[in-house]
Structure 1
Amino acid sequence: MVSEYKKAGVDLNKIKEIHEYIAKEISSTYRNVLLGAGHYSGVINYNGIKLALHTDGVGTKTLLALKSGIFEPVGIDCVAMNVNDLVSIGAKPLALVDYLAMEKPMDDVIKGVMNGLVKGAIESEAEIVGGETAIMKDVINGFDLSCTALGVVDEIKDGHDVKPGDVILGLRSNGIHSNGYSLVRKLIDDGKLSFEDWKEEIMKPTKIYVKPILSVLPMIKAAAHITGGSFSKLRRVTNYHIELKMPEPQDIFKEIEKAGVSHEEMYKVFNMGIGMVVFTSPEYKDDVIKNIQKFVEVYEIGKVSEGSGITIFTYKNAVLYL
């Protein structure tokens, strides 16, 4: 069966093939790389300092920003997509540069996006040190936004010491964040999902998890930012078996499912209410929860066990295998 996401123009299997090809090609440039392509951020050793780099954009959520006239959240999204991936490997964000490309000068876009970028940078305690603005009428339809972020690492948290018996915690998302929007837009265009009724939820920015993750960094073994490909991203952390029991998601996810996306595909495309996952030992679980709760709602959602694969028990008590 062809997935709704593939019908919307996004083939996750093809994207995986592209990523594998790119990772193989760029590996020939490695000299000081400590963590290369395939994880949340790359890490290099520069004169004994471990520097982390990540780049990402907002994606097709920009089209709904134009449709709604709401631009500030996508600026926050852009920062969040980068700094959340940095902290996922244990890096403290230091600085960002942004890239804003437009088909024509748009003052409302520039003002809203910049406000959002600044808010996101302040929240993540990073500095925006520059960037690039381009007007490309024949290339860009509307606008496109991306950032590159730099961080510094003490101890790389790549999941190498995750083992059976470890506890998995889930940090609440702010909603859809900024993934799966090709599918969301298709549902809107097909008249299956009302943008006007759900505009505020759809345009909510990605939650920035820098402060909660850094507050527990010495007590966790790994963190995973749940973005494109959803919970399949946990394979970056460990090859052991992962079992998740998911809490009830926000109503926007239920509405998307009612609009024609299968229950199984929802957990392959969207974060389903959990925007960040952390792995810790049972001995640290209570302290990790206590610290994270100062910033965001957190749930104990699973465990690591012998074997392989990912098993998800959904809020409807369905069992899914990834």
Structure 2
Amino acid sequence: MTYKGAGVDIDAGAELVRRIRKMAPWIGGFGGLLEYKDDYLVLSTDGVGTKLKLAFETGIHDTVGIDLVAMSVNDILTSGAKPLGFADYFATSKIDVDLAEKVIKGIMRGCEQADCTLRGGETAEMPGFYADGEYDISGFAVGVVEKDKVIDGKNIVEGDILIGLPSSGVHSNGFSLVRSVLDKSGLSLTDQLPGNDGKTTTIGEVLMTPTVIYVKQVLEIISKGGVKGLAHITGGGFTDNIPRVFPKGLGAKIFTGSWEVPPVFKWLQQVGKIEDADMMRTFNMGVGMVLVVSKEAADRIVEESSSPVYRIGEVIQGEGVHYA
């Protein structure tokens, strides 16, 4: 099985970005930078995608708001920006006040984790546009970074180290393929996840685990120096996201096996008979954020971290991502 076969064409999305760049050449980073006095304001917007379909099926609505905040604040974080504020958009056919309140509470929790505040939003009731009981959400974040402290990857050199920060699971990307695999498996969301190290967690609970918000952890690492680039591992996985932070002529060698891959990815690959290349281009595979750092900084980060971090690769001459 492939992501394209599940209905999502990453190449078509990349082509759209290339066309947009012809109209707006400054587009292409994880976040958009706006000059403001001695700072850059950094903007990002995103949604939760078809993970919401599982929210409808499981009835778990109180964590998708965390996913929503995470997808935007993790993006602006890649510039070294501290999130300042967040705004949401909630659209449905007919407002269910209790359900909407659960979603908003999740957004508030996400903002707390990101050390920012919910500053506004919009609620749209559109009968006939959405199926009864379903909704869509999107979010918008703004952060700030001093101009002389912006992280843009320009100083990355051959030999720099790639540090991976663990994900909590699938996060909020690849769910069109996830849902296709689930259909093929013959299992339901209430069944236990096979091969989950003896844990009695259902497939639904595993898949609905919210996206990690890396803001506090990464800003603390940045404050100690040595961070040259950051990649948020979302749609496009390792293959498409890591090269976005490199200067031309540089690529990455990834040491497969250097981090712990959560059981959910092993199950997805086995049931879906998904090729390694498609797994690495669709999912985060257990690493939700990648930091490109100097060798000295890498040693310090690994030694000082109170939570798991992985030395997952290094910067090499060439282009793209290579797996060893």
Same topology, TM > 0.5: yes
Q: How does 1:181-260 map to 2 (within 5 A)?
A: 181-192=175-186, 194-197=188-191, 198-217=203-222, 218-231=225-238, 232-238=240-246, 239=248, 240-246=250-256, 247-260=259-272
In the alignment, what sits opposite 1:152? 144
Give the C-alpha shift of residue 259 in structure 1.
1.5
Distance 1:67 1:17, change over 3 A: same
| Matches of 2:251 and 2:300, distance apart in 1 | 24
**Deviation sequence 1:232-270 (CA, Å, 0-9, x none):** 111111141200113231000011011212232111100
Out of 153, 164, 185, the position equivalent to 1:170 is: 164
Gaps of 5+ in 2: 192-202
| Matches of 1:255 and 1:78, distance apart in 2 | 25
Distance 1:75 1:229, change over 3 A: same
* Displaced runs of 4 or more, over 4 A: none
Distance 1:212 1:290, change over 3 A: farther
1:134 correspondence with 2:124: yes
In the alignment, what sits opposite 2:2? 4
Contact 2:226 2:296 in 1 (8 A): no
The number of residue pairs the alignment matches comes to 301
Give the C-alpha shift of residue 187 in structure 1.
2.0
Contact 1:193 1:255 in 2 (8 A): no
Out of 303, 311, 322, the position equivalent to 2:322 is: 311
Structure 2 SS opposite 1:150: strand
| Matches of 2:157 and 2:30, distance apart in 1 | 20
Give 1:173's aligned amino acid. S
In the alignment, what sits opposite 1:73? 63
Contact 2:243 2:251 in 1 (8 A): no
Give 1:88's aligned amino acid. T
Structure 1 SS opposite 2:279: helix
Identity level (%) = 40
Give 1:185's aligned amino acid. R
| Matches of 1:97 and 1:56, distance apart in 2 | 11
| Matches of 1:9 and 1:227, distance apart in 2 | 17
| Matches of 1:290 and 1:112, distance apart in 2 | 39
Contact 1:187 1:193 in 2 (8 A): no
Give the C-alpha shift of residue 194 in structure 1.
3.7
Contact 2:45 2:138 in 1 (8 A): yes
Structure 1 SS opposite 2:11: helix
Contact 1:219 1:288 in 2 (8 A): no
**Deviation sequence 1:32-65 (CA, Å, 0-9, x none):** xxxx311110111123331110001111111110
In the alignment, what sits opposite 2:277? 264
Give 2:137's aligned amino acid. L
TM-score by length of 2: 0.89
TM-score by length of 1: 0.89
Structure 1 SS opposite 2:24: helix
Give the C-alpha shift of residue 114 in structure 1.
1.1
Structure 2 SS opposite 1:131: strand
Gaps of 5+ in 1: 28-35, 314-322
Contact 2:184 2:271 in 1 (8 A): no
